[in-house]
Amino acid sequence: MSFTIQQITEPISESQLDELSETLIEAVAGGGSISFMHPVSTDLAESFWRGISAGVARGERALLVAVDDADRIVGTVQVVLSQPENQPHRADVAKLMVHPRARRQGIAEALVREIETVAKAAGKSVLTLDTETGATAERLYKRLGWTVSGTIPDYALLPHGGLCSTTIFYKAI
């Protein structure tokens, strides 16, 4: 599968809303710990993405998508650019997800590398994120040069229930 990474700067279209919502729903169904419990309703997913789109329009965050050769969204990541007054140099990477049908294609790595570039272009020099301890994403971030700052036990519920720890990462860019 070939794919391209694109930045969404306009309000998301209905087709983008559908594809982003499907990606979110399927990522959570597959166990992705991204702040949602399984099952995620279509209404909840669409509401989430409408809120993200509004944040993009206000310049509070940047939204990237991976688009396959059939022009379907198969992955996404965000960087939260809006930070407190004393942290204008910092941003948070959030909601990295790849649709299950598109995994193991290098999409997550490409999204992370590009979101780092977008953040740097926005004047950011330090990125932070958290991810489920022991998850595939944790290994990805380590491989991409992110530094572990610590782990918080029993931080969140997994989508299908049960507590999980989270690992906090940072990276100077």
**CATH level 3 topology of 3-125:** Aminopeptidase (3.40.630)
The tokens for 71 are 């022009």
Distance CA 72, CA 156 (A): 31
Q: Give the global pTM.
A: 0.97
Distance CA 24, CA 59 (A): 22
Position 167 scores a pLDDT of 99
Query: pLDDT under 70 in the chain at which residues?
Result: none
Position 1 scores a pLDDT of 83
Position 14 scores a pLDDT of 98
Position 46 scores a pLDDT of 99
Map out the domains of the chain as residue ranges: 3-125
